[in-house]
Amino acid sequence: MASRFTIKPPGDYELKRDFCSYGYFLLHPNFWDPRKLEFSRVLSLEGGPAQVRVGQPGGVGRGLSVVASRGLTGAEREEARAQLTRVLRLDEGTETIAAFHGLDERWRAAGRGRLMRSPTLFEDIIKTVTSCNVTWPSTVQMNRRLCEVLGDPVEAGGERQFSFPSAERIARARPQTLRARCRVGYRDARIVELARLFTPRGKRGPELEASWFEDLSNSDDAVFERLMELPGIGPYAAANIMQLLGRYGRLPLDTESVRHGKTILGYKGSSAQVMKKVHRHYAPFGAHAFRSYWFELWAFYESKHGPAWTWERDSTGKLFTAALLSK
DNA sequence: GGTAGACCTGGACGC
DNA sequence: GCGTCCAGGTCTACC
C-alpha cells in the first residue's frame, strides 16, 4: 500500500522551476518527467529503499504531493520529508529569495533563486567528484552506473530503479570495481576513501560529520579549508560543494566559466585572467554571488535548449558538451 | 608560490 | 569500424 502525504513549500515555490535549476536534476537516481511535471527518485530510508514521486498539482506555492512506492512508517515519512526538503531547498524561505532579488533584480520576475541538490551531503560530494575533469555525458554515465552497480533496487512503475549508494556501501567496494563497472577511472580510490570518511567506525561516528559541514554557524573559510583536505576535492569542487551547502559567496570557476566570461561577458585574455575578471564581475552580489553567476549560465543553456523543465534526462546529456555550447 | 605533466573516459573526427 | 585527438579538474613533483 503506497504512502501519500503533502509537503507545504514556501509561498513562492514552483516545482518545475526550482527542481530543474541545477545540472544534478539530470543525474541518476533523479528523474524529472517533463510530461507529468513530476520528479521521482529512490530514497534510502531506515526500513529500506523506497521510490517517491513528487508533484505540485496546484501550481506555484501550493502543496507538494508525495507518493511513495510502499507504505512508510511515521518515522520514515519524516525521514523522506527531511530529505526532500534538502533536495528542493524548501528551507530557503521567501525572505531569503527576496534578499537575493534585492541584490540582483534580473531574476525577480521569473522568481529564480533556489538550486536543487541531493538528499545528502555525501551524494553531493560524489556527484561533484564525478563532474571533475570530465565532460557532462561521462558524469551522467558514472552516476547511472554507480546507482545500478552499488545502489539498492526498487520495483516501481513496472521497472527496476536504484537508490544512490550509501557511503557504507561504497566504502565496502573495491576501487577496481568502481573503475571497471562504474567507469569512474582514476577517481576510483578517491571515491572509496571519501566513502570511508563518511562511514561510521564501530561505535564511533564517521571521521567526517555531515552535520558539521551543514552547520551555518561554522565560517565559510573553515568549511572551505576542510573540504580542500578531502581526496579528489580541489578549489573548483570545494567551491561547488559550498554552494550545495547553501554558501553562495564563492564561485566554482571552471572551463565553462571561461567560456561564459569570453562569449557572454566579453572578457579577453588567458583563462586565468578571464577567471579573475569573472570573480570581480560577480563580487558585488556578495553572499549571493553564485546564484547570480549560475542563473546567467542557466539562462544561456535554456536559450539553447528550451526551458530546463522540458529536458529529458536520458537524451539531454549529449547536448552539454563544450563543443556544442561554444557554437 | 607557481607550473608541467599524468591521470581516465567518451565524444568527435578522419580514414 | 577503427585509430587518433581532445576536453576536463586534481594531484604530485619539481623549480
Mean pLDDT, range A295-305, rounded to an integer = 94
| Whole-angstrom distance, CA of residue A102 vs CA of residue A240 | 23
What is the pLDDT at residue A201? 85
Confidence of residue A322 (pLDDT cuts 50, 70, 90): very low
What is the pLDDT at residue A157? 83
Residue A80 approaches strand B within 7 Å at CB:
no
Contacts 24+ apart (CB under 8 A), A315-323: A316/A26, A317/A26, A317/A136, A317/A137, A317/A140, A318/A137, A320/A23, A320/A136, A320/A137, A321/A135, A321/A136, A321/A137, A322/A135, A322/A255, A322/A256, A322/A259
A34 CA – B1 C1', rounded, Å: 49
Nucleotide nearest to A232 (CA to C1'): C10
Nucleotide nearest to A325 (CA to C1'): C7
Residue A321 approaches strand B within 7 Å at CB:
yes
Q: What is the rounded (10 degree) CA torsion for A133, A139, A145, A147? A: 110
Q: How far is CA A95 from CA A53, A66, A283, in A?
A: 28, 25, 22
Residue A313: pLDDT over 50: yes
Nucleotide nearest to A134 (CA to C1'): C8
Residue A185 approaches strand B within 7 Å at CB:
yes
A134 CA – C9 C1', rounded, Å: 8
What is the pLDDT at residue A318? 63
What is the pLDDT at residue A214? 97
What is the pLDDT at residue A260? 93
pLDDT above 90: percentage of residues in chain A: 90
Residue A212 approaches strand B within 7 Å at CB:
no
For residue A235, cis peptide bond before it (omega within 30 degrees of 0): no
Average pLDDT of chain A is 94
A69 CA – B11 C1', rounded, Å: 37
| Whole-angstrom distance, CA of residue A148 vs CA of residue A144 | 6
Mean pLDDT, range A236-257, rounded to an integer = 96
What is the pLDDT at residue A109? 97
Mean pLDDT, range A87-100, rounded to an integer = 97
Residues 6+ apart with CB under 8 A from A24: A30, A116, A117, A118, A124, A127
A29 CA – B10 C1', rounded, Å: 21
Give the bases of strand B that a protein CB approaches within 7 Å: 7-13
Query: Domains of chain A by range and CATH?
Result: 1-117 (3.30.310.20), 120-247 (1.10.340.30), 255-309 (no CATH)
What is the pLDDT at residue A323? 46
What is the pLDDT at residue A320? 61
A156 CA – C10 C1', rounded, Å: 39
A323 CA – C5 C1', rounded, Å: 14
H-only helix segments in chain A: 15-19, 74-88, 94-103, 121-129, 136-150, 167-172, 175-182, 188-197, 210-214, 220-228, 235-244, 255-263, 271-282, 289-305, 313-316, 322-325
Chain A residues 118-177 within 7 Å (CB) of strand B = 133-135, 137-138, 141
Q: What is this structure's pTM?
A: 0.96
Q: What is the pLDDT of residues A109-155, one digit of tens each?
A: 999 999 999 999 999 999 999 999 999 999 999 999 999 999 999 99
| Nearest residue to A143 via CA among A125, A168, A159 | A125
